[in-house]
Structure formats: C-alpha cells, structure tokens
Amino acid sequence: MPFNTTRKTVYKGVDTRLGFDVKNQDRKPVSLLNKTVMVNLMQVRRGEMILQRRAELVKPEVGFCELSIFGYDLTDVEPGIYQLSAQVYDNDGMATALYTDNNRSATIEVEILDGTFPTFFESTPLVFTEDTPGVWTSQAIKGNLQRNDSSVLHTIQIATTGFKGSFTAQGSLEYNTRGNFSPIRFIDSTLIVPFDGTNDIQGWNFKGSYRWVRIQYTPAVNNTGTVDRVLYRS
C-alpha cells in the first residue's frame, strides 16, 4: 500500500506532526478502521532505530494518519537525512508494509535540521587557585573561536555569601592556555565587578572572540565571605 513520497523536514527543538495518506495502487484511499499504523525513524547508514511510534488515525476511513515527533525525541539526534518506514497491523496482528511508490520502495527521507533554536551548551563550573597571593584565578576555558561559534556573547554567573572584593575577566588569542591574557570589558564597559558583602547571585556578560577565557577574583582585605560558585557559558 503506497503512502506519501515527499521528503519531510523536521526541526530539532520543536514538536512536529507529519501527515500521511495511505492509498492503494490505483491511488484510492485505503481504510485504516480497526488497524494500527506503526512508524519507524531510522539512521540511514547503520539502519539504527531512532524512534518508533504509533501513528494517530486522524481520518481512518480515508486512510489519513499523523505521526507526532516531539522536541525531546531529537535532543541527542544529529542533524542530517534519515529514513522513515511504516507498517499497518490488522486485528489479528498481521503486518503489511507501506510503500512510498508503485516500485515498492519502503522508506521516505526525513531531513532533521538544527536551527530553530540555538544549540544548548551546558555551563562550565570554574575552579579557582591562588596562583598569585591574594588573587584567585580560574582554569582557562575554551572560547568561541575553538568551537567555530559565531556567537560573541559570553556569560558568567557568580554566587557569593558575604563576599567583599572584585571579579575580572580575561581573554587570550593564543593557542596555549598560558599566554597573553588581556583584560576584558563587560557589556557596561567596566573592567571590574565589585561585591560589597551581600549574599547574591549575579550574571555578567561580555562580548568578543577568544580562544581562551579565564576569570579572576580578588578578595578585599576585610573580606570574611566566600565565593560559592562561578559558572561560564559562551
């Protein structure tokens, strides 16, 4: 029994409903009453099953059904071309393959695209060491240039308890992690983020293209508070 042959497009991050018309070789609708349609989404080269789901029989009397693909189904699926196949099950459990044309091709192409929403990157927790007396420096984190990322926005989140002191950001274009770090201005044009002893969680942004980024903080002489957590995301 043939069904649609047109390549389908599915975007990651959003829910998609794909509609199918099931017809016979004479292009007349096939009734799906009292039947079940199972749809498979497969990786092309390996034939690996990505998703298997029962289609919703929207108008079973005229052979129209829909497959729902939810955003979370494709979280770990790479963009590319995939194959979709389907089978119809009768009440007695007998399965009949659906073909995409009269040449009995059993799959259609589905293109999965990554572009509706930005790709999510987890924040990086920063670990600080006192390399210079009174100055705590984080590890060097890979910047946007090392990921071929066109975004130039960087964000740090700082959680403190009664901390008095200041934070700065530094960037480098060097290929190694130890060379030529320069001060970075935050979006408000300041070089230093001050903390006055309050319990707080603050987010600060800066822009630029860097191979490496690191954060430093300097406690005030009269500081008795703590820096609880610093996260970085680009």
pLDDT in tens, 42-51: 987 777 888 9
pLDDT at 2 over 50: no
pLDDT at 84 over 80: yes
pTM for the model stands at 0.53
Residues of the chain with CATH 2.60.40.650: 8-113
Give the separation between CA 217 and CA 169, rounded to whole angstroms. Answer: 9
3-state SS of 166-185 is EEEEEEECCCCCCCCCEEEC
- CATH code for the structural domain at 8-113: 2.60.40.650
Q: CATH assignment of 124-233, given 1.10.15, 2.60.120, 3.30.300, 3.30.40?
A: 2.60.120
pLDDT tens string 58-71: 999 998 999 999 98
Lowest mean pLDDT among 1-10, 70-79, 176-185: 1-10
pLDDT tens string 139-186: 999 988 887 666 788 999 999 999 999 999 999 999 877 778 999 999
Q: Which residues pair with 84 in a beta bridge?
A: 41, 108
Q: Which residues pair with 95 in a beta bridge?
A: 89
CA angle 51, 55, 60 (to 5 degrees): 165
Give the separation between CA 234 and CA 216, rounded to whole angstroms. Answer: 17
Residue 74 CA, chain-centre distance (Å), reads 9
Residues of the chain with CATH 2.60.120: 124-233
